[in-house]
Amino acid sequence: MDPEIAARLKRSADGLVPAIAQQYDTGEVLMLGWMDDEALHRTLTTGRCTYWSRSRREYWVKGDTSGHFQWVKSVALDCDADTILVQVDQVGAACHTGARTCFDEDVLLKEAAPAAPVDTQGADSGVPSLDQ
């Protein structure tokens, strides 16, 4: 891995960084996995997503068992360098349940209601208005 990237990457106490897999052409968020330096290196050099399994304590390549590969299109760090965004071409389901995405089961809010207008009549913001 590029030493500059390795130096910037902020890892958890166990050396892991969350990695979001996103469908490159639609922006659909597919799943969240975990990568350490080796998983990221493998992902960057093979063009296939490699993750660290926290439960099995081993590396796994998405699709090796299921055939549902994630072909890497781009990899980016967020502004804090503590999350990895992997844009992929997902073949088949991304979720271990067989669903296309891991984020379709428990939708907490489907569509936010429009915000109610705020009545600022008589409110003193401390900033003089233009008509004063």
More confident residue, 37 or 118: 37
Instruction: State residue 18's pLDDT score.
Output: 96
Structure tokens at 82: 């503590």
In the predicted structure, residue 70 carries a pLDDT above the cut 90: yes
pLDDT mean over 76-83? 90
pLDDT cut 70: percent of the chain above it: 86
Q: What angle do CA 4, 22, 78 make, to 5 degrees?
A: 35
Is a pLDDT exceeding 80 seen at residue 132? no
Q: What share of the chain is helix, strand, coil (3-state, %, to 5)?
A: 10, 30, 60
Pick the CATH number of 1-6+29-102 from 3.10.20.810, 3.40.50.2000, 3.40.50.800, 3.30.70.20: 3.10.20.810
What mean pLDDT do residues 6-15 have?
A: 82
Q: pLDDT grade, residue 114 (50/70/90)?
A: confident
Q: Mean pLDDT, to the nearest integer, of 43-58?
A: 95
Angle ∠(30,72,41) on CA atoms, nearest 5: 110
Q: What is the pTM of this model?
A: 0.78
Binning pLDDT at 50, 70 and 90, where does residue 43 land?
Answer: very high
- Domain layout of the chain by residue ranges: 1-6+29-102
Q: Is 46 exposed, middle or buried (0-12, 13-18, 19+ CB in 10 A)?
A: exposed
Contact (Cβ atoms closer than 8 angstroms) between residue 40 and residue 20: no
